[in-house]
Structures are given as structure tokens and as C-alpha cells.
Amino acid sequence: MFARSLCYVAPLVVALSCAPAPETAAPATPPAPSASAAPPAVAAAAASDAPSDAPAAHFRSLDLTNACPKEMHLYYGEHPGDGHGQGATVPAGATTLIPRGSDGTVVVWVVDDKGFGLASVQVTRHMRHVRVKADCSGIEADSTR
């Protein structure tokens, strides 16, 4: 008797295990796309249109040569001692790189041992060389070299 009932149950189990999965109903309207779900190409284009705080242009390197026979103290910024610039010391006869501002300009000062300004030059973004004069009396900038 047990064998006979197994024959009737086996086809039922096979039929249930091979049945196709029920289909789920698709939503009537697709969900609205969010800004973060934009395709990568669209998101990249939108990001490139947005203004950036980083400078867009790459400015020429700016070097300073100390033609003075003694070590010179410098200050890069609007006014020596204003706390917004950067100080440096350049040995006699040496050449060093000068940092530019984000707009490509900088004011370079020759300062005394106490940080008081003695001479300055306004460097524009097209200039590429600054020179402390050989007589130590001044500083100049130009776009040649």
C-alpha cells in the first residue's frame, strides 16, 4: 500500500517543482530618476559645467635670482608682516622658485632682518623671472629669459 501511494505523490512533486515562477506586476509608472541616478556621461557633463574654485589655467614657473653678493630676505604677499604671505631667504648668487597666487600674480618684497619692506615688484601672470639687483638696492621682474 505504501508503494502505491508513493506513485501518486511523485508526479505531483515533480509537477510542482517545475512550475514557472509567478510574474510580478510592473509598476504603472516608473519612479522618477534622482540626480544621483543620472548616467555617468550626463553627470560628468553637469560636473564640468559647474564653476570650480581651483585655478583653470596653469601659469608659467617663476624664478628669482639673487644677484646681490649677500643673502637676501624676501616676502611674497601684498604687504610684509600682514600674515597672509610667505617669507623666504635666498643665498647670494642663488636662484629659487617663487609661489604665485591663484590668479598667477604675486608681489615680491625685499625685506630687512626685521621683516620691514625695502623694495617690491608686482609680478603679473605673464612674467617668469625676478631678479634682486647686484647692488642690493632693488628688485625687478620681466617676461624674458
pLDDT of residue 77: 93
Report whether 85 contacts 77 (CB < 8 A): yes
Report whether 72 contacts 120 (CB < 8 A): no
- Comparing CA positions, the residue from 84, 87, 67 lying closest to residue 75 is 87
Domain-by-domain residue ranges, the chain? 63-142
Between CA 114 and CA 132 the distance in angstroms is: 18
Report whether 96 contacts 88 (CB < 8 A): yes
pLDDT in tens, the chain (145 residues): 545 544 444 444 444 444 555 555 555 555 554 444 444 444 444 444 444 455 445 677 899 999 999 999 999 999 998 888 999 999 999 999 999 998 999 999 999 999 999 999 999 988 999 999 999 989 999 987 5
